[in-house]
């Protein structure tokens, strides 16, 4: 069957159309996305502005048309951090439903971590043993660990690259005192919660997903996306540390020239790199393997499991 998964993130709205069958890997058939930047449409009270709501409604309507034209039998629509954290989230969801008929499900952060973990487990398989999975999004950082398909521990922390950039990185390039303050804050937040993950057991395989980690891996020498999803890509803690000072000294124009960095995400790269560096240091990870599957694939896989049980 053909399924559509509509992911409303903090940075981007993305419809992924896949051909799916029980026991088989979801096969991407079509992708439709736009840079909504919903997190930038929050006012001083944390509510999404009418401009942001209008942009979201327009995109969801367009995505629905695309899903129907591509023959989707079912479309699952969900929203993450920006919508979840907005002070008027009910108003936002009602506007989308009233104008498009699409009912967005707001995923809690723990569910984001759990579903991303499921996707990583299915991609790498049981031979990976205990997994430790990190995902840096626009609004939050998700962490999960476990040896089965359901993780033992999940965490969602307000350490998304977009959130940190908007709140703390206003200079371009950032001043040294700003970077030091942000670095200290990130590491304190991570260290406060790290024990729950570390006590669950030593991982055999540490994995990262998300555009931020993929961009950092590319900057640090990983293969470009054009070589396909089955090429092994890694991010080394040592190489990232070597690149970090140069990255911090760059302005946004220079960052946009780096391999694998898109203009709409270049501003967030500094914050993302500081989070990635802190994650690898505090959790004692020397190398992260980049997984091409993440939250959207986890949603698809769980949906297929549900349909298999029902059918």
Same domain, 166 and 85: no
How many other β-carbons are positioned within 10 Å of the β-carbon of residue 80?
26
* Residue 157 within any structural domain of the chain: yes
Residues whose CB falls within 8 Å of the CB of residue 307, separated by 6 or more in sequence, listed in order:
1, 22
Q: What is the CATH number of the domain that holds 117?
A: 3.30.420.150
The parent domain of residue 39 ranges over: 2-107
From first to last of its 311 residues, the chain has per-residue pLDDT tens of: 899 999 999 889 999 999 988 778 889 999 999 999 888 888 889 899 999 999 999 999 999 999 999 999 989 999 998 899 899 999 999 999 999 999 999 999 999 999 999 999 999 999 999 999 999 998 999 999 999 999 999 999 999 999 999 889 999 999 999 999 999 999 999 999 999 999 999 999 999 999 999 999 999 999 999 999 999 999 999 999 999 999 999 999 999 999 999 888 899 999 999 999 999 999 999 999 999 999 999 999 998 888 765 44
Give the per-residue pLDDT at 292.
96
Same domain, 134 and 274: yes
Same domain, 155 and 90: no
Same domain, 24 and 164: no
Calculate ∠ Cα 5-134-157, nearest 5°: 90
Give the per-residue pLDDT at 308.
65
pTM: 0.94
Q: Which of 150, 162, 251, 175 is nearest to 212 (CA)?
A: 162
Give the per-residue pLDDT at 26.
87
Give the per-residue pLDDT at 296.
92
How many other β-carbons are positioned within 10 Å of the β-carbon of residue 218?
19
Give the per-residue pLDDT at 42.
87
Q: Is there a contact between 116 and 294 (Cβ–Cβ < 8 Å)?
A: yes
Give the per-residue pLDDT at 309.
58
* Residue 165 within any structural domain of the chain: yes
When divided into structural domains, the chain yields a total of 2
113-126 b/e with 16+ CB inside 10 Å = b? bbbbbbbbbbbbee
């Amino acid at each position: 069957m053909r399924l559509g998964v509509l992911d409303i993130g903090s940075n981007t709205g993305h419809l992924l159309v896949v051909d799916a069958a029980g026991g088989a890997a979801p096969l991407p058939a079509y992708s439709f996305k736009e840079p909504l930047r919903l997190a930038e449409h929050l006012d001083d009270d944390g509510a999404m502005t009418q401009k942001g709501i209008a942009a979201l409604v327009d995109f969801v309507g367009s995505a629905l048309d695309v899903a129907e034209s591509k023959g989707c039998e079912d479309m699952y629509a969900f929203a993450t951090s920006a919508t979840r954290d907005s002070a008027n989230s009910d108003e936002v969801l009602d506007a989308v439903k009233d104008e498009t008929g699409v009912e967005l499900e707001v995923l809690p952060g723990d569910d984001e971590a759990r579903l991303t973990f499921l996707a990583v487990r299915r991609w790498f398989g049981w031979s990976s043993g205990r997994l430790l999975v990190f995902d840096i999004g626009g609004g939050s950082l998700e962490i999960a660990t476990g040896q089965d398909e359901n993780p033992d521990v999940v965490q969602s922390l307000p350490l998304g690259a977009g959130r940190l950039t908007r709140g703390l990185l206003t200079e371009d390039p950032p001043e040294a005192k700003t970077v030091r303050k942000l670095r200290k804050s990130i590491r304190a937040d991570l260290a406060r919660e790290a024990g729950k993950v570390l006590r669950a057991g030593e991982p055999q395989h540490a994995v990262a997903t998300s555009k931020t980690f993929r961009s950092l891996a590319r900057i640090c020498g990983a293969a470009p996306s054009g070589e396909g999803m089955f090429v092994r890509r890694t991010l080394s803690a040592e190489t990232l540390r070597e690149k970090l000072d140069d990255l911090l000294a760059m302005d946004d124009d220079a960052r946009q020239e780096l391999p694998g960095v898109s203009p709409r995400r270049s501003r967030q790269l500094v914050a993302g790199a500081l989070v990635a560096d802190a994650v690898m240091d505090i959790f004692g990870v020397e190398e992260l393997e980049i997984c091409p599957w993440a939250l959207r694939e986890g949603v698809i896989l769980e949906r297929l499991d549900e349909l298999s049980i029902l059918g």
